[in-house]
Structure 1
Amino acid sequence: MNMQSPSSTVQPPAPPRDLEEMRLPMVMMRDILLKTMFRKSVTLLSDLAEALCLPQHITQELLDISRQNRLIEATGTLNANSGGEMGFQLSDAGKSRALEALAQSEYYGAMPVPLDSYRDQIQRQSIRNIQITREDLTHAMGHLVLPPSLLSNLGPAVSSGRSVLMYGPPGNGKSSISNGIRDALGDRIYVPRAIEYAGQVITVYDPIVHNSAETERDDPGSLRRKRSFDTRYVRCERPAVITGGELTLDMLDLVYNPTARTYQAPLQFKSTGGIFIVDDLGRQAEPPQTLVNRWIVPLEENKDILALQSGEKFEVPFDTLVIFSTNFHPNEIFDQAALRRIFYKIRIDGPDQQDFLKIFAQVARKKRLSLNEDALVHLLNEKYPQIDNVYANYQPIFLIDQMIAICDFEGIPRQMTPELIDRAWENMFVREGEVIR
């Protein structure tokens, strides 16, 4: 296996050289061409090639085949504004076929990538090919105050591309650490706009999940291929899908739109080559044990099983770093069999007093609030003994934001005093034993 640093370049998918290399049924390609012309009203070769995400010479081949079948007609050379391109339009037979095809599936636009072709690309850009160094992780976590021992545990977990369980008391940065891991990956991969399996189209690229890095297109004045990669794919940063208490088991299945008769890839498939973060595990409607049981095959065999509306099941690659994050102790929510299938278990504790003060100073500097020695002494000597000196990473920003809000409301300069510490502290906890009448 060729290991890659986060800054290394992933081998891109090469543009197809001819229709045979597309590895798609000819009828499917022809119908997508007709549906795209019908829905988008495109008439020029260059515009159609861009809509289909194909090189112009392959688009021209599809047009020629459709013309031979009398589904498309040439309209003649257009004016200079079109670059002298030949115009095309659907014939009456072509319009009828487009409507029939749309009745079967509303999908049009970018030509899908066969699932087997995508498997090859996944291997080239696998999350397990990345070698994260301590320097990479430290740089990505630079905005966090973390003990060196935590990075020592996180590093091998991330580099392995295997599952990780982070647990510990709430408010200590488990979500921030997960995001930092995503940032440490750094490089870019290629995500298909859609894939094809058994004649069905499944959309994968999602602008909400995938951060597009760049686009490419042909030279509109030439039939020669100008693209450096297959633009049926989108070059993106490695994805990070974050779910929380809203996660349900059906969100991990193919999403079928009965009106459009199209499929959308589930969340974990959209995260291929990146990270899938299950935050707040234990807060979902599904029991944690049930959720983890759903991941047993993917975690152990690096493959997932999806099902079409027909009931047909098929395998897809599972190439994702899964991070579970919970405030519960693992023994409370999992049995030992489930815990064995999670490769790394990392406890995230709150900071000690020294790190707490570092975080407090860091937040105050960012918020432009001057530190006050009397206020800090009061906080450490009078307030924290009330909660047995248990510090949490969220507390500095909570207290400082509270003091700023109080000052703004009272119309006084933003400042830090023992009195303001007392008022902020009152909002951080609910008193035990309060009677509500």
Structure 2
Amino acid sequence: MNMQNTESLAPPPPRDLRSMRLPMVMMRDILLKTIFRKNTNTSSEIAAAICLPVQITQELVDMAREQKLLEAMGTLNANSGNEMGYQLTDAGKARALDALGQSEYFGAMPVPLDVYSEQVERQSIRNIQITRGQLTNAMGHLVLPPTLLDQLGPAVSAGRSILMYGPPGNGKSSISNGIRDALGDRVYVPRAIEYAGQVITVYDPIVHTAVDEVEEDMSSLRRAKRFDQRYVCCERPTVVTGGELSLKMLDLVYNPTARTYQAPLQLKSTGGIFIVDDLGRQEEPPQALINRWIVPLEESKDILGLQSGEKFEVPFDTLVIFSTNFHPNEIFDQAALRRIFFKIKIDGPSQEDFLKIFAMVARKKGMPLDEAALVHLLKKKYPTIDNIYANYQPVFLIDQMISICEFEGIPYQMSPELIDRAWGNMFVKDEKIVK
């Protein structure tokens, strides 16, 4: 998606206080808390801190002045562009401290949940159309059977759930990352959203990659004013979880000290991809995890709960990729399987593809190929494991031989003897340990 399309998806800046659709008292208190915490003085400084246009910020400042919570300090020096400076009155300081006691949140004004829902619809992952070329380019470093792309393409374009299953070590994680790379466009992530007077922070620098617009275009300052600064322009997010995933991680995170909420992982991944790797290795059984996803996957909405016990709906616009080494029938009932839209088996490579991968890895790592070593590998070693090939094995074997060569102080090379030594580290001999 090009920059023009990204701009057309941008959330427009609010026009006035009324169009903010936030409680006036909440906006005023966030203004006071921000001035108190950040020690900002001028309207333009305050506007930058609360991520609102200067004219709306000025409306808030004027309202606080009428309520005797702010007072003008007179004109500041030339460094401030001769802007009027403001400071909290004693009543304003008292109100700021009282408000901080109720919630420590200050800074960017939150986006109301219903306004954010409209933005999610505009930039929905289900609006993306992935071409075969895009997917092939993103998977270029992998040797995959052509039929696999036939299955993956429609699955990614649909923006629906995908279950990838098959024996370990065949690139399910790499394929998931390739899908992420194929998306390639941007979304707007709110710094925080508001529901029922509660603030939920969403933007997370660990999950979200902000786009550095200065490098993109010299007119970035002009463009910055074109979208609501309460959002951050980011690459489509990707959240990857593995054996550590628990049901609790899918709930709102409440900070009792700050009295604020943090969005759960699946809300942070809105507009992007949520990868559940190694399904079946978590503490909770896979069936319990999939049951938690049933409503979001079917209805494109998730249900979260506040500390008060109140439940509310948030948009669920995420491509969920489940990856497992188990057969689906072993870990799910049929009702759960019906709700996963695409089921794709990722098998080990054929002997021909295995050799292609082996040659590609050897070339990349500077390891010369040796015919006798390859014949020994295919005729002597693989028959001992029923000729079952896996995508991870070429990298493993070549890295082992490189380590041996470096230890022995000899040039990189492969031979039947080095193959045997490398093979010995790939599998553990099945034997009883006498204690």
Normalising to structure 2: TM-score of the pair? 0.95
Letter in 1 for 2:286: P
Q: How does 1:358-369 map to 2 (within 5 A)?
A: 358-369=356-367
Q: How much has 1:81 moved relative to structure 2? A: 1.7
- Whole-Å separation in 2 of the counterparts to 1:284 and 1:298: 20
Q: Is the 8 A contact 1:253 1:306 kept in 2?
A: yes
Q: 1:298 to 1:421 in 2, by over 3 A?
A: same
- Whole-Å separation in 2 of the counterparts to 1:434 and 1:372: 36
Letter in 2 for 1:258: P
- Whole-Å separation in 1 of the counterparts to 2:74 and 2:412: 72
Q: 1:316 to 1:337 in 2, by over 3 A?
A: same
Q: What SS does the aligned partner of 1:189 have?
A: strand
2:205 aligned partner: 207
Corresponding residue to 1:403 among 401, 410, 424: 401
Q: How does 1:225-304 map to 2 (within 5 A)?
A: 227-304=225-302
- C-alpha deviations, 1:193-216, integer Å up to 9, x for none? 000000000000111111101369
1:220 aligned partner: none
- Mean alpha-carbon deviation: is it higher for 233-242 or for 71-80? 71-80
Q: How does 1:19-30 map to 2 (within 5 A)?
A: 19-30=17-28
Q: How much has 1:5 moved relative to structure 2? A: 9.1
Q: 1:387 to 1:226 in 2, by over 3 A?
A: closer
Letter in 2 for 1:248: S
- Whole-Å separation in 1 of the counterparts to 2:98 and 2:280: 47
- Mean alpha-carbon deviation: is it higher for 108-117 or for 360-369? 360-369
- Whole-Å separation in 2 of the counterparts to 1:312 and 1:366: 56
1:153 aligned partner: 151
Q: How much has 1:228 moved relative to structure 2? A: 1.1
Q: 1:45 to 1:22 in 2, by over 3 A?
A: same
Q: How much has 1:176 moved relative to structure 2? A: 0.5
- Whole-Å separation in 1 of the counterparts to 2:54 and 2:397: 60
1:92 aligned partner: 90
Letter in 1 for 2:345: R
The answer to whether structure 1 residue 107 and structure 2 residue 105 are counterparts is yes
- Whole-Å separation in 2 of the counterparts to 1:408 and 1:47: 59
Q: How much has 1:67 moved relative to structure 2? A: 1.0
Q: How much has 1:436 moved relative to structure 2? A: 4.0
1:388 aligned partner: 386
1:44 aligned partner: 42
- Whole-Å separation in 2 of the counterparts to 1:85 and 1:78: 6
- Whole-Å separation in 1 of the counterparts to 2:287 and 2:432: 35
Q: Is the 8 A contact 1:363 1:397 kept in 2?
A: yes
Q: What SS does the aligned partner of 1:95 have?
A: helix
- Whole-Å separation in 2 of the counterparts to 1:404 and 1:63: 67
- Whole-Å separation in 2 of the counterparts to 1:5 and 1:27: 40
Letter in 1 for 2:358: F
2:374 aligned partner: 376
* Structure 2, unaligned runs of 5 or more: 215-221
- C-alpha deviations, 1:247-288, integer Å up to 9, x for none? 000110100000100000111111111111110000000000
- Whole-Å separation in 2 of the counterparts to 1:401 and 1:50: 51
Q: What's the Cα RMSD here?
A: 1.6
1:53 aligned partner: 51
- C-alpha deviations, 1:336-377, integer Å up to 9, x for none? 011011111100000011111111111112212222222212
- C-alpha deviations, 1:283-324, integer Å up to 9, x for none? 000000000001111111111100000000001111111110
- Mean alpha-carbon deviation: is it higher for 163-172 or for 409-418? 409-418
- C-alpha deviations, 1:141-178, integer Å up to 9, x for none? 11111000000011111111111100000000000100
Q: How does 1:177-188 map to 2 (within 5 A)?
A: 177-188=175-186
- Whole-Å separation in 2 of the counterparts to 1:6 and 1:46: 28
Q: 1:5 to 1:285 in 2, by over 3 A?
A: farther
2:65 aligned partner: 67
- C-alpha deviations, 1:63-113, integer Å up to 9, x for none? 111111111111121212222222111111111100000000000000000
- Whole-Å separation in 2 of the counterparts to 1:296 and 1:15: 35
- Whole-Å separation in 2 of the counterparts to 1:6 and 1:324: 31
1:80 aligned partner: 78
Aligned residues, how many? 427
- C-alpha deviations, 1:15-55, integer Å up to 9, x for none? 01111111100100110011111111111222211111111
Corresponding residue to 2:416 among 392, 413, 418: 418
- Mean alpha-carbon deviation: is it higher for 409-418 or for 92-101? 409-418
Letter in 1 for 2:51: C
Letter in 2 for 1:78: L
Letter in 2 for 1:282: G
Q: How does 1:295-334 map to 2 (within 5 A)?
A: 295-334=293-332
1:357 aligned partner: 355
User: Greater helix percent: which structure?
Assistant: 2
- Whole-Å separation in 2 of the counterparts to 1:226 and 1:68: 31
* Structure 1, unaligned runs of 5 or more: 217-223
Q: 1:7 to 1:81 in 2, by over 3 A?
A: closer
Q: What SS does the aligned partner of 2:426 have?
A: coil
Q: How much has 1:8 moved relative to structure 2? A: 4.4
Q: 1:322 to 1:210 in 2, by over 3 A?
A: same
Corresponding residue to 1:165 among 163, 166, 175: 163
Q: What SS does the aligned partner of 1:386 have?
A: helix
Letter in 1 for 2:337: L
- Whole-Å separation in 1 of the counterparts to 2:406 and 2:323: 36
Letter in 2 for 1:22: M
Q: 1:7 to 1:341 in 2, by over 3 A?
A: farther
Letter in 1 for 2:381: K
Q: 1:51 to 1:345 in 2, by over 3 A?
A: same
- Whole-Å separation in 2 of the counterparts to 1:331 and 1:185: 30
